[in-house]
Copies of this chain bind each other. A is one copy, B any other.
């Protein structure tokens, strides 16, 4: 089965990059140990003024496994402690 792709564009105000990165690495540390995780890539904009300062692109075996990882207590606790505006959605690659 084709993997599902989570793409998550983050709006991170200037000066908050370090706080964002610390939180992202903490969450990613849990996610990458969860069943179904395939890969993740965190992108940082070259332009500090870009609307989306960071965009995460992660591959998972299935939407259900991703949802289970996000719903875990450890991840929920971390997410509750940070408050960056994000636009996560699931995608499939339709053209290359």
Q: Taking the complex as formed, is A94 at the interface, i.e. its CB lies under 8 A from any CB of chain B?
A: yes
Interface size on A, residues (CB 8 A): 31
- Is the contact region of chain A dominated by helix, strand, or loop, or is it mixed? strand
Alpha-carbon separation in the docked complex, A39 to B75 (Å): 33
A95: nearest residue on chain B (CB-CB)?
B42
Interface pair A94/B52, CB less than 8 Å apart: no
Q: Taking the complex as formed, is A69 at the interface, i.e. its CB lies under 8 A from any CB of chain B?
A: no
Q: List 21 A-B contacts (CB under 8 A).
A: A5-B43, A7-B43, A7-B52, A7-B55, A9-B52, A9-B87, A25-B95, A39-B96, A41-B93, A41-B95, A42-B93, A42-B94, A43-B91, A43-B94, A44-B91, A44-B92, A45-B91, A46-B91, A50-B89, A52-B89, A55-B91
